[in-house]
Chain A
């Protein structure tokens, strides 16, 4: 059939500057919803404890959450667990709306970064995030003794009135890159692990280079089980969810 040149051909592709570098694959078929990733993330990234009342009012500050979704009606209920964190969109809706460039795209890491020092707290980025993963410092939360000893020196502690979100543990990425550089080599696959992936007992979270077709995360993403959250919004997320395998899940 002759090609009709009047109709443009659609091909989804990343524009320059949007293509991913670091990415994640999350296997929903083996996630048990144990919340270890949530705890590990809070420890690693100095996320404050907001207390019972604020948490109940929707002010919990976790950078990663396990969405527990029920399917069917009791007693025929199935549970599904979906860990959701910042998807590090290549074309991130949160970025252009910030009036002071506190939410910007890192050209080096191809990550969506939040500049705490620059944030003035308009919270527009959070409203424009379709994944609702940005958390705000509603107050200055205190860390009573001895919890202050647990603070991670690699991560900034944020002030009240500042927006924050998952960074893909960028401090660990940098540490691994520095280590590799001092040893005169490339960062190898699996060398960098964000806290959530490290803590996952089921190994449901895999992290690595998605621009390297040989990495574990790239191979998993290409398995055929992969999909992205709210893919139709064209935010170009860098987290791939895997689902639909032969594993029998709980429930």
Chain B
């Protein structure tokens, strides 16, 4: 979505917002032309919206593998690069290596999960975007991308199901 020439319908309650989602679909506006912005987490199922795809769990798995590889390098690679013998222990001791592998795998999971949120949400992005501060006061905003000739019709329909306001969305600095 280019976020231009869009309508922003503001709802205070979840039920009218869910109705609005149905209504838009009935009017022939595809799911991908509607975006939902909310101040509290609202799952797709609550609004009858399609399932949201996220890469975060996959990235976390990738991070686990990456962390494990770094751990293997620490536990088995560094003693090979510079062998130092201590306390009659073998050069590649198993129990201490397990500790190293565990910590670095976990660190890999955590870092990649954190970075995953950044990547998937395209953070940080400080460019101005469509937004109204009421959203963090608990309002639910529907961003509707519709053809100019449909605009009036959509506005009317949104007001009917109980939108607080429907207006042309304005970009504002975040």
Contacts and interface: CB of A to CB of B under 8 A. Distances in A.
Answer whether A and B are interacting partners. yes
B2 interface: no
| SS class, residues of chain A in contact with chain B | loop
A96 B84 contact: no
Contacts of A18: 88
A238 to B, nearest CB: 13
Interface string A87-131: 000111111111001011101000000000000000000000000
A176 to B, nearest CB: 24
A113 to B, nearest CB: 11
A236 B88 CA distance: 10
A91 B85 CA distance: 10
Nearest to A92: B87
Nearest to B93: A96
Contact of A107 (B85, B87, B88, B89): B85
A17 B88 contact: yes
A107 B88 CA distance: 11
Contacts of B85: 17, 104-105, 107
Interface string B55-90: 000000000000000000000000000001111110
A247 interface: no
A72 to B, nearest CB: 39
Interface string A177-191: 000000000000000
Interface string B72-114: 0000000000001111110000000000000000000000000
Contacts, number: 31
Interface residues of A, number: 18
B90 to A, nearest CB: 9
B142 to A, nearest CB: 57
Q: Which residue, B84, B86, B87, has most C-beta atoms of chain A within 10 A?
A: B87
Interface in B12-27: none
Contacts of B89: 96
Contacts of A11: none
A103 B89 CA distance: 13
Interface string A70-99: 000000000000000000001111111110
Contact of B84 (A91, A104, A236): A104
A97 B93 CA distance: 13
Contacts of B87: 91-97, 105
Contacts of A96: 86-87, 89
Contacts of A104: 84-86
B47 to A, nearest CB: 54
Contacts of A90: 88
Nearest to B82: A101
A91 B89 CA distance: 8
A15 interface: yes
Residue picked from A18, A95, A103, most chain B C-beta under 10 Å: A95
A240 to B, nearest CB: 19
A86 to B, nearest CB: 14
A15 B89 CA distance: 10
B86 A103 contact: yes
B165 to A, nearest CB: 62
Given A17-B88, A95-B86, 11 more contacts: A91-B88, A92-B86, A92-B87, A93-B87, A94-B87, A98-B86, A101-B86, A104-B85, A105-B86, A105-B87, A236-B88
29 contacts: A15-B88, A17-B85, A17-B88, A18-B88, A90-B88, A91-B87, A92-B86, A92-B87, A92-B88, A93-B87, A94-B87, A95-B86, A95-B87, A96-B86, A96-B87, A96-B89, A97-B87, A98-B86, A101-B84, A101-B86, A103-B86, A104-B84, A104-B85, A104-B86, A105-B86, A105-B87, A105-B88, A107-B85, A236-B88
